[in-house]
Structures are given as structure tokens and as C-alpha cells.
Amino acid sequence: MLSALDLARRVESGELTPARLVELCADAIAEREAEIGAFVTLDLDGARRTAAPPAGKDAPKVAAKDLPLRGLPVGLKDIVDSADLPTEYGSPIYAGHRPRADASIAALVRRAGGNVIGKTVTAEFAHTDPGKTRNPVKPSHTPGGSSSGSAAAVAAGFVPVAIGSQTGGSTVRPASYCGIAGYKPSFGLLPTVGMKCVSWHLDTVGLFAAGIADVAFAAAAIAGRDLRVDRSPPASPRIAVLRAQPWPQASADMQAALDMAARAASGAMARVKDIQLPPVVAAAFRAHTTIHGYEAARSFAFEYDRHRDKLGKSMRELIETGMKVTVDAYDDARRTASRARQALAEMMSDCDVILTPSAPGAAPEGLRSTGNSTFNRLWTLMGIPCINVPGLADDSGLPLGMQVIGRFGADRATLEAALFIESALARRK
Amino acid sequence: MLSALDLARRVESGELTPARLVELCADAIAEREAEIGAFVTLDLDGARRTAAPPAGKDAPKVAAKDLPLRGLPVGLKDIVDSADLPTEYGSPIYAGHRPRADASIAALVRRAGGNVIGKTVTAEFAHTDPGKTRNPVKPSHTPGGSSSGSAAAVAAGFVPVAIGSQTGGSTVRPASYCGIAGYKPSFGLLPTVGMKCVSWHLDTVGLFAAGIADVAFAAAAIAGRDLRVDRSPPASPRIAVLRAQPWPQASADMQAALDMAARAASGAMARVKDIQLPPVVAAAFRAHTTIHGYEAARSFAFEYDRHRDKLGKSMRELIETGMKVTVDAYDDARRTASRARQALAEMMSDCDVILTPSAPGAAPEGLRSTGNSTFNRLWTLMGIPCINVPGLADDSGLPLGMQVIGRFGADRATLEAALFIESALARRK
């Protein structure tokens, strides 16, 4: 895998150039993209032009190598509008669609000195009908979804940074399945403007990179916020371990991995205790389904009314289920979510993060399902930062991700705690 | 003006047809559109086809006349994406732009049986650089903005219903200036998906119609919510009159109009008392500017980075001011807004609505400014329902609108209180 932080430092020191970074990616892509299928659209020539812009009066005032992202190649999930490349949302309805403008996150990536090299595969409309992508760790298994291509592109070493999104579990789950860092920031920290909307109360931009320090570095550069965690050792966090979920339990392997992560953190001098969720927070898990469906039925009103026959099975189900949700049920679900956010904030007043599995288990075999988002939905609805910490695996080598969940707006502390746990797991080996 | 409720009832009874409604609008448009300039794009032929669809197997399963909006012609602000008509956002950057999909609100209008007859003039990107539209009450004056064309189209009798938006005061102010009902619902009640985004914490869909019962009828049909207020007389509301603002005061005419409205409501047996805003709510007024700028600088990152020379003066100022807002100032502003929402909810626990002016005064003369949103910004940030009640005017006949502001989610009660005040003012004459 390509470490964003390491590559950026080498550009900063003059050891590498943005143009050389593109070739590093191009080599990795040439070797494995045919097998993995992470991209819908690749634009290596465009990336080469961006990396080595013409001299003279057309040259940009600030070279990419002097900007925070140092010219790092970036993959954009294909629900992010881009003016230079087609954007198809994983749907035949939008075959060949070329938006007039970049989404805000695409423009912010470029503004920070990122070099967009292509659009990555998304499940249809960021839901669950899968694309072609395979898991780089074991290609007979799903990479997870819906940000399938972004997670796989980072795991396969095609790009050091990729942008995804999360409405249910579309960032944390594929990061867990692919064994990389995935970060869903606090709701609203990064703009979703110009990303295909599923649910306006849930959609969140997500980021992928090799490790926690890498994803924090990329997020800091793109958001223009103090989120880096690589400059000093992380403080010892207070960790609340959540073992019993109000939804179907994790696999035995995953439960064992959680025990191992809790022990490693405790061994590294973190304060670790077990917690249980208050009933209103558990109720909010069901509220996610109500809000998701109700809003998707409205977000996709055009597609449903005009192109119903081109919608996949699970998108139709999502929309049709959402059309049956009454406004009273929707309003109730929003009130439940609001109460749950308060209860959770109170519960977390004496801890820094919650530690719990990122997914029910390792990536399922086959490409027909992208796996299950039960371990992620509640936290997405709560709007709080969630990070997948890589480092553990089952006996067959498939990754088992640990989910670190912080307080709203405390993204830096959450990233720091995630780094602490990642380091503790690394030392264990 | 065309009453949406009256026309819908006449279609329901068989006295009118959707096709006849289009011709009523076409006649009014033929008479005055050249002078008023409410539309960017008119599609009367498309509206005629929608109103009288072909018979046979292509015929829609449910005729427009049997749907809630009964085939009523509707104008859409030109920041609302439409697949059948160009959508230019009031900007030369988007000349001739044809979106691939309808915005959710456009699809919901059609789903409810509305007949979109055209796109209405917006100030550039729903900000303040004005379009061509004149005030139908007095064409030497501004209609207000940024939903200039939608307000003018209703006031001129071109359409019974129009869709606008509000980020600062873009619905309530033009409704006040044009002497019609304008309704900004609770934040999130109607989807902004597919509308050009300025600020994701502020942008709200707005509706225009002749009177309060009309706008409530249209909102009920489009939102699928129990918002109609025409079926029984409104309950007598508890009204809190806000005379002293933490921003520059209203004109003498407007202050006299507020007195008159408060007296009329009191005379009609409403409980009326004066209030003052708690300091944190007043502080939130300044927070609006911070949030608006910070988010606009990100929403328009593509336009600023790629087409800066095609941006109007006030858009550039908004973006450049927003680029200077620090993340700390932005986070502080959001926390202030959050505290203010709580303080306001407590303050309003013993009243149904706040009554205050909709604008500093009547529509200013000339077309170079769309007027001032100081009386609206705070309430937009609070996310609570705001309604312009028409019925009063200055000596020259220019309308002076009253703003009725309700509790979050209590949209029906707010519409009912607005109807109560509208009726009280009507009886006064």
C-alpha cells in the first residue's frame, strides 16, 4: 500500500515529484486493475498533465508540490460530480453523464493539491447493488460497499488517498473488509454538495488511506483543519468497549478480535471499560432505517418516476419501502435520533471513544453482496466520527476492522485514539 | 392574483380543467410578462401537453386533475434543477445548462399534480446580484430577492403557486415586497436535493401563493403533510410581538404596520404580548453571516476556482469573505446557533408565534438592489417556520408584510396563526 504521509514527506523533501507519484500509481494499476476493477474511469494522462503543468503564463501560481496534499493521486467515488470525467452514480440511468461542475469535495481535493486520477466504482447510487470490484486481499471476496472502488484502490496500492461516502456503513465497512483506514468525519465537517444525495440527514463524505496517520493527514489537508496525528505520540485514551449490540452479534472471529484490541489498548496503558447502550440509543438504530427510506424515496423521485425500469432491485426496494413510511413515523424517527444524540453525549462524557467491531465479521465470499451495515448505521445517524482501525485478521488472512467512535466535533481526539489502538495492535505482533 | 385553493376547487368540481388553467396563466403572462420579467424560461406548450396528455396507452394512470395539486401551473426558481428545461442559476457560467435530472422538489411538484410552466428569475446563485424582474405592484421598484421571479409571477397573477428558496431572506422578503404569502417551512421539511447549494445549514425550499390558505394548500399537497388551514376557522393564537431587533430598525411605516397588525390580532381575541430576544439569540444573528460565508466559499469552490471572472461582484465578496472565516469561527458560530435554538424554544414555550416585520420597510425603488435580509437571517438559521402575511401597505400602495414565526416542526400551527392574522387584517378594512 502507498502511505500518503510517507509519499507527501518525500515530495516535500524533493525525493519524489508529483509526476513520479502518478507513475507509481500507474505501475500498480497496470499490474492489478484488470483483476480488481476499482475504477469506472481512469484518467492517467489527465493526471500526468496536472502533475507536470505547462510552464509559462498558463502555469499555476502555486505548484501542487507546495500545496498540503503535495500532488498525491486521489480516487473519487463515482457519486462525486466531476466536470472533467464522467459521473455515472453506478446507474445505467446516468451512462456517460458529464456534470457541469465539480462537487465541492472534488474542488477541495484539487485546491489542497490532490491529483484526481479517476472515478472509483460505487454500488448503484451508493446503496447495495454491487459493482465489479473485488477485494484486493482475496479477490474471491467482496471489498464491501458502497464505496467499493475507493477502498479497493487504496488496499491494492493504486492510490494513497480515496474519497468515499457513508449513509449506512459505506466507508467503515469496506475499510474493514479491505484492511485499511477509513474515516467518516462528524456530520457536516466536509461538504456533500455535488455528491448524489441519498439521505440528507445521513450522507457523509468518507476518506480512505493506508493507515490512521495517513487518513488524518489527508483529512487535515482537505478540510483545512488541525486533524494531523503524526507529529507527536497519541495521548492515552479512555476507551469504552461495546460488546453487546442491539442488533445481530458479530462473528466469533470478530468478537475475539475485539477482545484482542481491548487487551492491546489496555496493555498500552489506555483506560478501558465495558459499556452498554441506553435504550433510546438502541431505538435510534431502527430510526436509521425509517429516515434512510423516507429521504431516499424523495431524493430519487425523478429516477423512480421516470426511469423505474432501470433501477436495481435493492434501490427499488429502498425507495418503495420509503414511500410507505408515514410523515408521522419519519418525524418520530427524527425526534428519537435527536434524543439519542443527547443520551450518547452524556454517556460519553467520561470516555474519549467507543470501541466496537466495524462489521459483523470479515468480508463475505462472492461479489453478489457488499456485506452488512448493521454495525455502522446507528453511528452514522448520530453524526459522530467513526474510524476503521486496520491491523487484525482471521486465520485465512481476511481483515477484521475495529471501529473507533468519538464525540461529535471531537474528530482530532478520535483520530488520535484510533492511532493509539493501531499502534498498540502493531506492537503486539 | 390567482388563488390556488379556489382554482383547485373549481377543477375538483369540474368547472375548470387543467388545460383551462394553463390558458388563464398564458393570458396573464401575455399581458404583463414583457414588463415584469418573471421568467427565465417559459414552456407554455409543454404545460399544454402536460395538461391535456394524449389518450391511449401513453396516457398517465392518474390524471393531474385527480392529484392533490389538480394540475395547477407552478413556476420553479431557476436554481431548481429541471431535466426538461434549462437551469442557469442566474449565472453566465451555466448559460444553457440542462441538468440530467429534476431536483426532488420539482419531481414532488409533478408527483402532486403540479404543472411546471417555467423557470423563474433568481438573483445570481440565489444571492443578491439581481435579475431583470420588476415588482408587479409598482414596476419601478424591486420585487425583492433572491426568489424575485417566483414572487413576481404570483403577484402578477401569472401562476397560482411558485417555488423559491431561502438562505437569508429570499422567500419572506420578496413575498413582503410583492404583497403575497410566502412560506419558509421548518428546515428539512422539503428536500433541497438538486437545488444549487449555497449553504447546507441554511438553504430551505420556500413557497409562494396569493394568500395564506393558498400557500398552506400547496405545501400540504407537495409535502404530503397535514398543513391545510382552509377547512375550519383558525384557533386564536398566542402571539409574541417583537418590536426591538438586535439589528437596524424597521422604517416608521413598517413599525406602524406592526402596531396595526398586533392591534388587529388582539381585537380578534388573540393573546398578544411584547417580547425581547435573549442575548444568545441576538448573537446568533451574527453567526448567520459566518456560517453563510464559510459554507458558500466551499459550495462554490468549483465556480470560484474555474470561472472567477464570470462571478458577479457580491458573489465574489460572499465567497472571498467566507474564505477568510477560520474553522474555529465557523465551529463557534454553529455552537452559538445550537444554543440559540434551545433558548428560543424555551422562550416560545408559552406562545405559538412571534410577530415581527418581514423586511425593514416597503420594496426599495430601483432594480439595482433586491433589498435587505436583516429581518430574516436569524430565523432562517434557527430553522423554524416563517411566513409572510400580506394585507398592509404604505400610502403609496407598496406592501408591508408581517412575519409570523413558529416553533420548529409546528408548521401547521404557524400557518394557522398566519391565517388568523391575515383574516384579522382583512376584517379591519
> Is A229 inside any structural domain?
no
Kindly indicate the confidence band of residue B118, based on its pLDDT and cuts at 50, 70 and 90. Answer: very high
Q: For residue A294, give how far its alpha carbon lies from the nearest alpha carbon of chain B (Å).
A: 11
**Cis bond before residue B146 (omega within 30° of 0):** yes
Which amino acid belongs to residue A288?
H
- Provide mean pLDDT across the span B290-297: 98
Q: For residue B327, give how far its alpha carbon lies from the nearest alpha carbon of chain A (Å).
A: 7
Cell of B178: 410583492
**pLDDT, tens digit (0-9, with 9 covering 90-100), for A232-258:** 999 999 999 999 888 989 999 999 999
Distance CA B310, CA B315 (A): 10
Contact residues on chain A for B196, CB-CB shorter than 8 A = none
> Is B191 inside any structural domain?
yes
Contact residues on chain A for B303, CB-CB shorter than 8 A = 101
Say which of A102, A226, A299 has its CB closest to residue B193.
A299
Q: For residue B391, give how far its alpha carbon lies from the nearest alpha carbon of chain A (Å).
A: 32
Same structural domain, B25 and B124: yes
Contact residues on chain A for B226, CB-CB shorter than 8 A = 327
Kindly indicate the confidence band of residue A398, based on its pLDDT and cuts at 50, 70 and 90. Answer: very high
Contact A102 B302 (CB under 8 A): yes
Contact A327 B102 (CB under 8 A): no
Structure confidence at residue B56 (pLDDT): 74
- Which neighbouring-strand residues pair with A418? none
Which amino acid belongs to residue A236?
S
Interface list for chain A against chain B, based on CB atoms closer than 8 Å: 83, 94, 97, 100-104, 106-108, 110-111, 188, 191-194, 197, 200-201, 223-226, 295, 298-299, 301-303, 305-306, 327, 331, 409
Structure confidence at residue B416 (pLDDT): 98
Element (H, E) at B136: none
Same structural domain, A163 and A151: yes
Of A400-404, B73-77, B278-282, the poorest mean pLDDT is in B278-282
Number of other CB atoms surrounding residue A236 within 10 Å: 16
Measured in degrees and rounded to the nearest 5, phi and psi for residue A151 equal -65, -45
Residues near B193 by beta carbon (within 8 Å), at least 6 away in sequence: A197, A200, A298, A299, B103, B104, B105
> Is B232 inside any structural domain?
no
Same structural domain, B43 and B87: yes
- Provide mean pLDDT across the span A379-405: 98
Distance CA B184, CA A157 (A): 49
> Is A230 inside any structural domain?
no
> Is B116 inside any structural domain?
yes
Contact A104 B188 (CB under 8 A): no
Say which of A302, A327, A331 has its CB closest to residue B102.
A302
Same structural domain, B195 and B176: yes
**pLDDT, tens digit (0-9, with 9 covering 90-100), for B264-288:** 999 999 999 999 999 999 899 999 9
Which residues of B carry out catalysis? 77, 146, 170
Say which of B101, B226, B302 has its CB closest to residue A83.
B302
Structure confidence at residue A287 (pLDDT): 97
Contact B302 A107 (CB under 8 A): yes
Domain end, chosen from B336, B352, B374, is at B336
The answer to whether B411 and B186 have CB atoms below 8 angstroms apart is yes
Say which of B188, B191, B224 has its CB closest to residue A299.
B191
Say which of A100, A193, A327 has its CB closest to residue B200.
A193
Of A42-56, A213-227, B22-36, the poorest mean pLDDT is in A42-56
Structure confidence at residue A194 (pLDDT): 98
**pLDDT, tens digit (0-9, with 9 covering 90-100), for B192-208:** 999 999 999 999 999 99
Q: What is the pTM of this model?
A: 0.97
The answer to whether B344 and B338 have CB atoms below 8 angstroms apart is no
Contact B200 A223 (CB under 8 A): no
> Is A349 inside any structural domain?
yes
Structure confidence at residue B420 (pLDDT): 98
Same structural domain, A64 and A159: yes
* Residue-number span of the structural domain to which A285 is assigned: 281-333
Structure confidence at residue B54 (pLDDT): 76
Say which of B107, B197, B301 has its CB closest to residue A302.
B107
CATH number at residue B265: 3.40.190
Average pLDDT, chain A: 96
| Number of compact structural domains in chain A | 3
Chain B residue with CA closest to A104: the answer is B299
Contact B305 A108 (CB under 8 A): no
Reply yes or no on whether the pLDDT at B148 is more than 80. Answer: yes
* Integer Rg of chain A from CA: 20
Structure confidence at residue B78 (pLDDT): 98
Same structural domain, A351 and A371: yes
Structure confidence at residue B64 (pLDDT): 85
Interface test with A, best of B111, B187, B193 (most A CBs within 10 A): B193
Distance CA A122, CA A401 (A): 21
CA-to-CA dists, residue A385 to A171, A196, B150, angstroms: 12, 21, 40
Which residues of A carry out catalysis? 77, 146, 170
Q: For residue B420, give how far its alpha carbon lies from the nearest alpha carbon of chain A (Å).
A: 26
> Is A411 inside any structural domain?
yes
**pLDDT, tens digit (0-9, with 9 covering 90-100), for A192-202:** 999 999 999 99
CATH number at residue B167: 3.90.1300.10
Chain A residue with CA closest to B82: the answer is A302
Structure confidence at residue B57 (pLDDT): 67
Contact residues on chain B for A194, CB-CB shorter than 8 A = 197, 302
Same structural domain, A19 and A161: yes
Dihedral, B49, B119, B18, B217 alpha carbons, nearest 10: 150
Same structural domain, A326 and A349: no
Same structural domain, A60 and A193: yes
Contact residues on chain A for B201, CB-CB shorter than 8 A = 188
Contact B302 A188 (CB under 8 A): no
Structure confidence at residue A388 (pLDDT): 98
| Residue for grid cell 401562476 | B159
Same structural domain, A167 and A36: yes
Same structural domain, B43 and B191: yes
Structure confidence at residue B429 (pLDDT): 64
Interface test with B, best of A108, A294, A302, A341 (most B CBs within 10 A): A302
Among B390, B395, B429, B387, smallest CA distance to B412 is for B387
Alpha helices in A186-326 (DSSP H): 212-223, 252-267, 279-299, 301-307, 313-324
Cell of B251: 422604517
Q: For residue B396, give how far its alpha carbon lies from the nearest alpha carbon of chain A (Å).
A: 44
Average pLDDT, chain B: 96
Contact B188 A197 (CB under 8 A): no
Contact B106 A302 (CB under 8 A): yes
Domain end, chosen from A316, A333, A350, is at A333
On the 0-12 / 13-18 / 19+ scale of CB atoms within 10 A, A124 is buried
Contact B107 A83 (CB under 8 A): no
Q: For residue A364, give how far its alpha carbon lies from the nearest alpha carbon of chain B (Å).
A: 34
Distance CA A233, CA B184 (A): 49
Same structural domain, B54 and B150: yes
Reply yes or no on whether the pLDDT at A158 is more than 90. Answer: yes
Interface test with B, best of A79, A93, A100 (most B CBs within 10 A): A100
Interface test with A, best of B302, B307, B338 (most A CBs within 10 A): B302
Distance CA B13, CA A421 (A): 70
Contact A107 B301 (CB under 8 A): yes
More confident residue, A211 or A428: A211
Q: In what order do the strands lie in the sheet with B73-77?
A: B39-42, B115-120, B73-77, B161-166, B204-209, B181-184, B386-393, B399-405, B353-357, B238-242, B271-275
Q: For residue A104, give how far its alpha carbon lies from the nearest alpha carbon of chain B (Å).
A: 6
